[in-house]
Structures are given as C-alpha cells and as structure tokens.
A = this chain, B = another copy of it.
Amino acid sequence: MARYRVGLETRERILAATRRLLSEVGIEGVTLKAITDQAKVGAGSFYNLFDSKDDAVFEVVREAVEAVDPDPAGAGTDSLEDLVDAFVAFMTGSSPIARIYLQLAGRGLTDTGIAVRVLRSHRRRVERFTDAWQREDPTLSEREAQQRAETMLAALTGLGMTTLMDPGFDMRTHAMRLLPDSALVRGA
C-alpha cells in the first residue's frame, strides 16, 4: 500500500493513534473519526493505507499479543513458569490491550474471520506451552504434553477473564497452582 516515505510515516501515526485509543477508551471507543482525529489525518489518507478500520485494530492487537512472549526468538529456553508468569503479567499489567485481546476472542465466537486469527495465535501459544511441558518432563508423550498445554492455557484464559472483571481477584496465586510443582494440571 504505502510506497513513499510519507505514507509509511502516516501509517505509523495511525497505528500509534489506534494503539493509544484502544488503551484509553477501549474497543468501542475506537471509531474511524477518533483514529483520524488523533492521528491528525483525513479519512481518505486512512483508506489509502488500510483496507478497513478493523485492519488497523488487528495490527495493533497482533503486535501487542506477540510481545507477550518472554522469548520471541523461540530459542526454547523458557520454562513453564516463565510462560505462565508472562501470561499473568499480560493480564494483570497496566496495558489494557489484554482486555481487547479477550474481547476480540469473544467476537471470534460469531465472526469466522476473527476466529481464524485468534485460533492461529492460540495454536502458536499451545506449541510453546507443549514444548515447555516436554522440557519439564521429557518422559511425556507429545499428545499428553499437548493436552496439558491446552488445559493450562484454557485455565489461564478463564482466570484472565475473571481477573479483568474482578480487580480483587488474585490471578497470580491461582495461576501458579497450575504449575507442575503444584501438581495441578498433571494428567491421569
């Protein structure tokens, strides 16, 4: 889309504005007008660079979600605890993008296009957790490790929802109970 330098810069300004709005007023507050006002750009410029409003929103959320990974390089050195810790930090941290992420997932329940994107990032995460499980306990079968990873992530997601709705909820304690040391997600 953007081919000239100015275009690329405008694109960045738009993404920054979207990011800021998502954080400050939530997903409902992100209207096209809000974005273009914040970015000091006309609607025409916006559509010269993005196909739709959601395009910009997805881009911002995708970046934020990827940043959750404590080991983006995927070097395979992060422990289960690291992963859980990073997830908890994401949910309880100051960035309100966590809310947005779960809300998008909620929308994915009826919008197939969104579901595909959410599932894709979910699967990536399951892989990371599966690897960590096997590193923790090399005797685990691939299948078993994957089931534990899936269950663990599900629990983390559910705990995340509760903590986002109920600020008094102690997510970290509950989440730590999921670690193998606590014998919580160990299989049959």
Tell whether, in the assembled complex, residue A157 and residue B147 are in contact, meaning their CB atoms are under 8 Å apart.
no
What 0/1 pattern do residues 144 to 188 of A give for CB contact below 8 A with B?
000100110111111101101110000001100110011111111
- Count contacts on A: residues with CB < 8 A to the other chain: 43
Does B103 contact A107, Cβ atoms closer than 8 Å? yes
Cβ of A143 to closest chain B Cβ, rounded Å: 11
Name the residue among A26, A103, A105, A155 with the largest chain B CB count within 10 angstroms: A155
Candidate in A108, A151, A165, A174 with the most chain B CB atoms within 10 angstroms: A165
CB 8 Å contact bits of A77-118 with B (1 = contact, 0 = none): 000000000000000000000010011011111100001001
Q: Which of B108, B115, B154, B182 contacts A174 (CB 8 A)?
A: B154
The minimal Cβ–Cβ distance linking A25 to chain B, given in whole angstroms, is: 9
Chain A interface residues toward B at CB < 8 A: 26-28, 99, 102-103, 105-110, 115, 118-119, 122, 147, 150-151, 153-159, 161-162, 164-166, 173-174, 177-178, 181-188
